[in-house]
Structure 1
Amino acid sequence: MWQGPDDAPPTARIAMLAPSMQPSERRVAEAIATDVDAAIERTAQEIADVAGAGRATVIRTAQTLGYEGYPQLRVALARERATAEPSQDDAADPTMLGALRGAVDRFASRLAHTVTAVTEETLSTLVSEIDGAARLFVAANGLSAPVGVDLAMRLTSAGRPAEYVADTLGQQITASQLGAGSACLVVSGSGVNRASIDVMTAARASGARVLVITSFPRSPVAEMADTALVVAPINDSFRDELLYTSRAALMLVTESVVGLLVHRRGASATAAQVATLSVLGHSLSE
């Protein structure tokens, strides 16, 4: 069941919740996300026929997404469609540059959706725990690994020392030695990476707090976390997430989280950044 903000658009809810739905509900959700305009016009029974499911499944899907029933979901879809930016015609420019521009435009049109599941309480708690942990360990694997490396470096540059270990076994060993008062911050876009789950298990057993940044609120990592910041995926559907997986939204949000930490820390963070710039300056050559 959707537990995020009431104003989160339905397509963003589908993208985040579809992986954890029952197969029949997932088919309904995918049918809606694949053709939103048609879904607005269709009845619950028509959607059921398209998805190869029962009418009751359509209603359950709408309720899982946080709506009273399918009529309310249709209204939300129509509202989202009415406020969306006009779509770009991919065929207007068949060149490679045109395709690149189209991809950037589609990405930009979805950016606002990335924070639709974020609440002030969760964001504030996450930043506070990152700031207050006696020891902070950042873990990420698979496609999220570059985000984890970048996050650890940014935090350290801001005066909040953060550890990062690339090897998955090394991550588990480090996590098992954190102890009370420390925090393990896991970045997992999919929320199902086995290595990241093992790291979380080890960190929790050590007595450390477990923090997560992920794209799916009902994923194993989100459900295991003490605090989970959910960043909606850029893609409209779970199918697109599998085909065109992107961690750009996670990167954007993690950079912003560091910015919030810098603001919270004030002068100490500024001094750390000045020291970092000094080191960078000495490393440059003509």
Structure 2
Amino acid sequence: MVWSGAADAPLTARIRSLAPSLHAGERRVAEFVAGDLAGAIESTAQDIADAVGVGRATVVRTAQTLGYDGFPQLRVAAAQELSHAPAAASSDDSLVGSLRAAAERFAARIGDSVAALTEQSLSDAITALDEAGRVLIVSNGLSAPLGLDLQMRLTAAGRPAEILQDALAQRIAARQLSARDLCVIVSGSGANESSLAVARAARDAGATVLAITSFARSALVSGSDTALVVPSTSDSFQDELLYASRVALTLVIESLVDALITHRGPRGRDARDAVLRELGTAISEP
């Protein structure tokens, strides 16, 4: 599997999306390049191979897996990304300064969150959400709050959805879906075993499986009909494991529901108006 997202996606966004599932040698190459874009620009494929202890062919194969014709094209992509890099962070080591630096890093990369999405994958996801008889949402671990958020937003948009927290109950519900139904699985890693078991049960039942995840070559993507891949905004795969930020996934989920409301036309607008009316009666004067 090679990069299939946007043609203008930044090099490091491609690496963050694909690195966890690359072969060991390719992963070393990718992480080496991501850690030193300036160095990669000035290096040959053989230089990189010598630096990480792999063959030159592995470097070329890594570049092709990331969606480039070869290593020269990867070097150009590194130069393009480096030219758009934000200014160096402030040396302010106060608590507020640390928060500001984190926000600036996130802001610089938030555009990468949609780099792996395609018009077709978004269209398929919105159509599936609109036309399904039942919508079952599954999310576990650190992704659990995202599933609840999606369920509440879909319901408010006039697209009723159901969510269950118990792993066995999720599998039972998935197995009772039909070919007209949709199972949406939100998993940052795409490797949560409980979520993968639900995906298999839904597929066995004939339902459509929509995956929302951060890694393009995960087991969840392989077992889904449609996948929305949202690359992590973490600095490295190690950071993703340690901090497991779901901010980018949250942004895409919120935007997906907004797009669904637009797609549904009068039905979507009527549902939103009904929500606003209820909110009007629920909010009291301070």
TM norm. shorter chain > 0.5: yes
* 1:174 aligned counterpart, secondary structure: helix
Distance 2:235 2:75 in 1: 16
Distance 1:96 1:221 in 2: 38
Distance 1:194 1:260 in 2: 30
Distance 1:71 1:135 in 2: 49
Deviations 1:260-285 (A, max 9, x none): 01111122222222322333344445
Q: Which runs of 5+ in 1 are unaligned?
A: none
Deviations 1:22-53 (A, max 9, x none): 11111111111112122222222222232222
Q: How does 1:267-286 map to 2 (within 5 A)?
A: 267-285=266-284
1:32 counterpart = 2:33 = yes
Distance 1:16 1:5 in 2: 12
Which shifted more, 147-156 or 229-238?
229-238
Distance 2:107 2:230 in 1: 15
* Contact 1:18 1:238 survives alignment (8 Å): yes
Which shifted more, 96-105 or 205-214?
205-214
Distance 1:223 1:242 in 2: 21
Aligned partner of 2:264 in structure 1 is: 265
Aligned partner of 1:93 in structure 2 is: 92
Aligned partner of 2:228 in structure 1 is: 229
Distance 2:277 2:241 in 1: 42
Deviation at 1:58, TM superposition (A): 1.2
Deviations 1:60-106 (A, max 9, x none): 111111112211111111011112332323xx211010000000000
Q: TM-score, normalised by structure 2?
A: 0.95
Aligned partner of 1:135 in structure 2 is: 134
* 2:106 aligned counterpart, secondary structure: helix
Distance 2:44 2:179 in 1: 53
Distance 2:169 2:275 in 1: 27
Task: List structure 1 runs of 4+ shifted beyond 4 angstroms.
Answer: none
1:206 counterpart = 2:205 = yes
Q: TM-score, normalised by structure 1?
A: 0.95
Q: Which runs of 5+ in 2 are unaligned?
A: none
Aligned partner of 1:72 in structure 2 is: 73
Aligned partner of 1:151 in structure 2 is: 150
Which shifted more, 273-282 or 145-154?
273-282
Aligned partner of 2:55 in structure 1 is: 54
Q: Work out the percentage of aligned pairs sharing the same amino acid.
A: 54
**Two-structure CA RMSD over aligned residues (Å):** 1.4
Aligned partner of 1:186 in structure 2 is: 185
Distance 1:203 1:80 in 2: 40
